Structure formats: C-alpha cells, structure tokens
Chain A
C-alpha cells in the first residue's frame, strides 16, 4: 500500500508506538517564541532539567510583542533570551533581527522537505509548504520536544485537495484557502493533514504556498503540505547549494517525500479555481466566508496588512501596486507590518514602504502585534478591521473588535475605499 507525504515522514522518524495509533516521532527542529516558551523553560528549570536535546535544532525568536511593551512582555523576552544564551541556541532572533516566526524561520532556510517540526504556535502548519510535517503544539509538547527531541501524534490521516484551473486576476492564495475553509468548516480537517496539489499549487510561489498552508489549522488541520518541486529547491538553494551536486539532485532527493501514486486518502476534494473571486470572512469563525462582492460597502475602521499569513514581500508588492498613487480614506487607519527585517528591507529598496507611507499607512517594525490584539494596532470595542491575518474570532484583535479576513489586494482596495470593496476596481 502506498503512502501519503505525512506517512512517509512519520515512518522515517519513528521512535515508538506505545499505544494504538500513537506514534512518537523524532524531531528535526523545535521552534520557539516568547509567549509559549517561558512557561516550559521555567518548568524545566524547576525540574532541574534546564537543558536542550540539541541546541542546533532549536530556533527561537521574540515576535509576538516586540520591542517589549511593558514589564510583563519584557520579562517574557528576558526568560527566552537568557535561556537561549545558557543553552547555546545560536539561532535566536532578538529585537532588530526578529520577525514573525513563520516568516523568518523559512527565510533563514531552517525548513526542508521531509522534516518534522513542532512549535508552541498553531500556525506552525505554515512550514508544510516545503513538504515538511510541521505541527502546532502546546507548551507541554514543546517542553518535551526541547528536552527529548520527540513528540507524540496520532498516525496521520490525510485529505488531498486538488486545485485545478488557473487563478483569475485579483485572486490569490488567500482567496483559495478562505474558500477551502468555507467548504471544509472549522473542524473539517481536525486530526488530519491536508495535501494541497494540482496545477494552481504548482504555479504558486513558496510565499503563496505558505499563505495556503498557514491556514490549514483554521479548518482544524494538523498540517498543510505542498509537494516539493523546483520552486521549493530554488527557494532553498542558497542554504543547500553545498549539500547537492545540482538542483536536479536536490529535487530528486526531496521528491522522496512526494506521495506514492497508490497512497490512501481519507478524502479527495477537487476545486476549480478558475471561477473563484476574492473572498472575505463575515463572521467570527474563519469558515464564515463570502465573495468580497457580497460584502461591498461594509465600513471598516482599520486596515491591517501583515502577519504570518500575508506579511511577506509578495503580499506587500501586491498591496503597493494597488495603493500606488492613491490615498487611503480619511475614515480608515492603515497599518502595515512587514513580517521580517529582510522583507522590510526589500520593501524599502523596492520603494514599497514609500508607497505605503504616501498613501497614509503607518509602517511598524516586524511583529505579530495587532494580529492577536497584543500591540501595534489593537481595536477598540465595536471597531472593525479588514485584515490579512488568519483569525477572525470575536475580540481577536482587541476586546469587542471584529475582523474581516481577506487578501492583501482586497485589504489595500478596502483602505482606499474606506469600506470593503472588490479589488477588481483597483486592478493596476
């Protein structure tokens, strides 16, 4: 019987099968940030086990609130910073060099096809874009990962989603994933991995694939996975050029982790993207999705472009192309957070930051900040934000605030109009 991507990865990392379908697997990487790691660190210290399984396999960043906004967040930063130093974790990214975890770790080349990765963050599924098994976990799983380099999962079941056709202009990976979540529902993929494949995925950049996989968790999925191909190799090449004779060599090795043709799936879904229009959420769950055109005219107070979903350079380029030569509406506050320093720098060099500023946007440093309502753009009660992030829970961006999730193109167009509007009107 053939195997899915996740089955191949699990079998290659097998440690133990203590009960039923529970597999304990070896981890290639454990990623850490300052919100969920400090409690694990304190617990390890209290247990007299302040050590790590392999300092080279642990990567850490301060990203959720940075620079610190008060003494509590300063303490969280201090705990993870001192822990990284104590345990010789060299890949630690502090203020000035830090960015949103799921943007900066791929950018630094820390992900490979076939890898197993955990992090105390639900959007760890993003890294599946590289053909890895990457899953969000809680602090206890993180703690055991840090100490032992293992994690337990149910042997994965997989849903295969084939996206056929061709994306129409003005329609992006974000619209594809919103529409998929709308179909699956918020728990349609619970305990399952999603393989995204087909011509639309093949044509996507790594950035777009990360946007897609990022939101697998919003349908309950453990991980979203794209098959490694030449796009994956090209992205990783600066980090792996020494390890392979040629790109073809690398590709052949990575494609060991593509599924077998006779792999068995829990479900097969085919979506034709040719008729897809820009999508937006209208409720407090990510599966409450409608075409943007049906929400035309909905007023917003704030527009936020950033996060691990859509804060990458490609996203900023798309938004800037729409904003260029326009001013955002007087009734709207525009905030853009480039997800990493490298993205910020590229946006500066390409003149994108200037376009945002000329349009009237506030440009913040790389951070999660407003995405989870912790800093840099928290909503007041009753306010509405058009946002390129991934979660629209009631109060997510500030107590009593409402969030409409959409693509960077739709968000930019909304900023200009002052209300939700169809980005086609603003197509460059």
Chain B
C-alpha cells in the first residue's frame, strides 16, 4: 500500500483541471518520472507558486471538481512521482477520481463544511496528516492543534488501494 501521510499543500480554488495539473505539452513523455518537474506548472492563482509550494508536500487539500478535463492519467502520475498519493477535496471529476484509485492512490471526499473549516483553521499553518486507513480517519496536526476527521471510502476503492491498483485487482479477479 502507498504512503498517505505527510505535509499538506492547500490549493484554494475549485475546478482545477488536468491541463493545470500537467499541461498537454508534457504528454509526450512516456515515463512517469519524467513528469516530476512539471506538476501544477500552469496553475495560476494568488498565493500559489508551483516552484516553491510543492516541495516536501505529500497531500493536497482542495475545493470542488478537482481533476476535471482530460482523461490523462499523467495527472495522478505527476502527483505520485512528487510523493503525493492522497488528495482530499469536496468532489472530483469522474475519470480523475477513478485514475487515482486505479493507481492505488486515494481521492477522498469531505463535505464542503469540513473542507472550509480546514482552509480557515489550517491553511495558514504548517499542517500534516496521518491516515489511519483501517479506521477511516485522518489525524490532522496544524500548529499546536490536533483533530480527527473521519472519512468514508467504498469497498471497491478500498480494495483497489489494498491491491495496489486496478491492474493487479483485475488480474486476480477477471
């Protein structure tokens, strides 16, 4: 199973699309590793600088409809090779979400209220998350405060994470 613990990168914008996660001009690469320097290169909004803000982060917390646009699995791959295996958002585009679990990564949904609270209370502080996968909860540490947030994950998604992705799961079952 992949690592779902680490420092949080807060991306305070909805509808972050796959062209912003990894621009099409890098789709000529045929290894995942080659995508590493280009993650979020075209994402532009106030308070985000891809050159400084990605380093050392392992988890993204963001708003709604993350990963909309193209089917490119290069988007999860670009996250994965940067050590980011977990995204937490209000909602996702279908293909992106499926691609994450298909790679044995996680795209977890939390309510807009909880996401909003995390942005208000944690996004200005160094924040880490520890994932208790067995008990469906995140332990969020921000500043001096620690809180627990429970999440839900479907049986299928859990099986994909445990199998290490859809290829291994399907190979065993079909």
Contact = CB atoms under 8 A, between A and B. Distances in A.
A46 to B, nearest CB: 11
B30 interface: yes
B173 A16 contact: yes
Contact of B42 (A47, A70, A73, A399): A399
Given A42-B30, A374-B27, A395-B23, A191 B94 contact: yes
B53 to A, nearest CB: 18
B93 A374 contact: no
Contacts of B62: none
Contacts of A42: 30
Interface residues of A, number: 55
B132 to A, nearest CB: 21
A338 interface: no
A70, A121, A152 pick with most chain B CB within 10 angstroms: A152
A190 B102 contact: no
A144 B170 contact: yes
Contacts of B31: 39
Nearest to B156: A19
Contacts of A38: 30
A374 B72 CA distance: 14
A186 B68 contact: yes
A36 interface: yes
Interface stretch (A132-140, A201-209, A227-235): A132-140
Given A19-B155, A373-B25, A140 B72 contact: no
Contacts of B159: 18-19
Given A20-B154, A186-B65, A220 B170 contact: no
Interface string A170-214: 000000000000000011001100000000000000000000000
Contacts of B19: 391, 393-396
Contact of B15 (A43, A285, A372, A374): A285
Contacts of B156: 18-20, 22, 152
B42 A138 contact: no
A122 interface: yes
Given A18-B156, A190-B65, A220-B94, A138 B71 contact: yes
Interface in A7-29: 15-16, 18-20, 22, 24
Contacts of A18: 155-156, 159, 173
A79 interface: yes
A337 B171 CA distance: 41
Interface string B30-56: 111000000000101000000000000
Contacts of B95: 122, 136-138
B51 to A, nearest CB: 15
A141 interface: yes
A141 B76 CA distance: 13
A393 B28 contact: no
A39 B30 contact: yes
B93 A220 contact: yes
Given A138-B98, A148-B174, A187 B93 contact: yes
A72 interface: yes
Nearest to B155: A19
A393 B94 CA distance: 18
Interface in A140-176: 140-141, 143-144, 147-148, 150, 152
A126 interface: no
A141 B155 CA distance: 18
Interface in B148-172: 154-156, 159, 165-167, 170-171
Given A39-B73, A138-B102, A394-B44, A190 B94 contact: yes
Contacts of B17: 393
A391 B71 CA distance: 13
B113 interface: no
A140 B24 contact: no
Nearest to A79: B30
Interface in B98-123: 98-99, 102-103
B154 A393 contact: no
A396 B19 CA distance: 7
Nearest to A53: B174
B64 interface: yes
Interface of B: 15, 17, 19-20, 23-25, 27-32, 42, 44, 64-65, 68-73, 76, 91-96, 98-99, 102-103, 154-156, 159, 165-167, 170-171, 173-174
Given A47-B167, A187-B15, 8 more contacts: A20-B155, A42-B30, A120-B73, A136-B71, A186-B15, A187-B64, A190-B91, A394-B19
13 contacts: A16-B174, A18-B155, A19-B155, A22-B156, A38-B30, A39-B73, A72-B30, A121-B70, A143-B167, A186-B68, A187-B68, A374-B24, A394-B20
Interface of A: 15-16, 18-20, 22, 24, 35-36, 38-39, 42-43, 47, 49, 64-65, 70, 72-73, 75-76, 79, 120-122, 124, 136-141, 143-144, 147-148, 150, 152, 186-187, 190-191, 220, 222, 285, 372-374, 391, 393-396, 399
